[in-house]
Chains A and B, each alone.
Chain A
Amino acid sequence: MLTAEEIREIEGEAVHYPRRDAVSIDALKIVQRHRGWVSDESLRDIAGHLGMSPAELDGIATFYNLIYRKPVGRHVITVCDSVSCWIMGSERVQQHLEERLGIRPGETTRDNRYTLLPTVCLGCCDRAPAMMVDSDLHTNLAPENIDRDLENYK
């Protein structure tokens, strides 16, 4: 069941569009913000609320990389692997994170603290290599400052 707060937020966005199902992506993001990810049950509830079929909504949910259809950790680390960051050493950043966290891209640490995902260009190529942790951007990455940055995410 969607919470009253989730419904309120979804309806707040829905008024921006002339068609009700146009709010589907906003709705997925809203529910994910509250619950961390979009479970099958959440998906069915959102679809029901918008008058869509769950299959149609799942087709949309699985298209977009910022919608998580599997549980993620408390913090999501997305590492840019596009060309400017690659030139500036993103492979070393990636390797350092994998070794330090003991996980591969797409996985979550055992303590449920971090999920590691690749991402496309984050639009800060003059400060490469870059990553995001949740909604925060971290730039000019090197193994030393990565460790320090990550400490702030408990």
Chain B
Amino acid sequence: MIRQIEKPLTGSMPADGSWLDLPAYEKVGGYQAIRKALNGGMTPKAVVAEVKNADLRGRGGAGFPTGLKWSFVPVGKDAPNPTYLCVNADEMEPGTFKDRFLMERNPHQLIEGAILAGFAIEADVAYIFLRGEYTLAAERLTRAIAEAYQRGYLGKNLLGSGYSLELYLHLSAGRYICGDETGLLNALEGKRANPRAKPPFPVVVGLFGKPTVVNNVETISCVPHIINNGAAWFQGLSRTRDAGTKLYGVSGKVKRPGLWELPMGTSIREIVFEHAGGMRDGLRFRGLLPGGSSTPFVVEDHLDTPMDFTEMPKVGSRLGTGTMIVLDDRTCPVGMAWNMTRFFARESCGFCTPCWSGLGWAERILRSLEDGHGKPGDLEKLSFQSKMWSPGNTFCALAPGAADPLQSAMKYFGPDFERHIGEHRCPWR
């Protein structure tokens, strides 16, 4: 796939918007990576090492090194059995629309990646955990999985290698919390999707109590290209020390909202003002959430920051999912904070007190500010509440993810919050 060297994940997708079925995927070099690994004498350990050396980090938002995660799975004769791979295709982070694109347009790339990941961790069964609303992705994945079984890429004794893998598509029934790694496992077990306490980590005690790796769609989609082209090639794709390409997206009132595969470490400025065309006429840029609703705001001063795992924390934020939500000067930052806090309050699984209790409280305060009923002391209450959502006070990352946008909105747009109280109204309404 040397032709598409700069956009390995999306470069071979047909320009007319259609998808790559099996013949089309094979034509652009598809399923060569599993031949290289399974028939070319690579051991599972060698696949893990290649991905580790490539410095592939999780594209679901957390950025955990993928090869390292795989290396924690117990393997060998005495290891617990079976071992599971779960592809987290429960894309529901507000502002995020990248995995939908990868699954609708190139489902076989994901399947091939899952086979390689499964081989690496010696998995017996893999599940693609897909959110129920992604009906087109479900249709195409269903067809692609059937095609792959028919061709002998899935099932028993793949390509005569002795390795067997069953792959199932699981269609979820909703709720954001299923995207949490352990919430996902409970949902897949047919339970309420309350996240589990860690440790034990899923790589040791996961689905049905067995070793389980959970990886995001974009992460898994990178794997065939790493195996085909090597770790050094993957590292060379990026502009910074974090490897690979990244699907970056922009939504909000920009001229050309969209999604682009670009070198990891492309600057915020280039993504928003070149690829997305900058702000719509007459609107001014005020700030953005760089990687979905759970990442802290960045503002004008930060525009030259490379969008990667290493550099974004230096300006107080995170890469997250890499899909940005832009705030313009005609949109109320308090209203935006209210909208996101309402989302987190509604999607709380209801287990940990700071989350189910505090988020609802903060949502009511923010709504009262928007309705013109804000009172002195409200901002202090919001600060106090959101401090309770820090990591460690709850099982999962939902509440910390709610704190990040709210606290950063109060930091950068403090006078706007105060105006709501002082003027007894939302100045934008």
Contacts and interface: CB of A to CB of B under 8 A. Distances in A.
Interface of A: 16-19, 21-26, 28-29, 59-60, 63-67, 78, 81-84, 86-88, 119-128, 132, 135-137
A121 to B, nearest CB: 4
A128 B323 CA distance: 14
Interface in B248-262: 249-253, 257-259
A84 B95 CA distance: 6
A132 B97 CA distance: 15
Nearest to A128: B251
Contact of A60 (B91, B191, B253, B349): B191
A21 B249 contact: no
19 contacts: A16-B127, A16-B170, A17-B189, A22-B188, A23-B190, A59-B192, A64-B175, A65-B173, A82-B343, A83-B339, A84-B251, A87-B336, A121-B293, A123-B131, A123-B133, A126-B97, A126-B257, A126-B259, A137-B136
A121 B153 CA distance: 34
Interface string B120-161: 000000010001111110000000000000000000000000
Interface in B221-255: 249-253
Give me the 4 closest cross-chain CB pairs, A-B, nearest first: A125-B251, A64-B173, A82-B94, A126-B257
Interface of B: 82, 91-97, 99-100, 127, 131-136, 168, 170-176, 187-193, 208, 249-253, 257-259, 289, 293, 323, 325-328, 331, 335-336, 339-340, 343, 346-347, 349
A78 B346 CA distance: 15
A63 B96 CA distance: 23
Given A63-B192, A86-B336, 5 more contacts: A25-B187, A82-B343, A123-B100, A125-B249, A136-B135
A47 to B, nearest CB: 12
Contacts of A128: 251, 257
A120 B92 contact: yes
Contacts of B170: 16, 26
B95 A66 contact: no
A21 B189 CA distance: 8
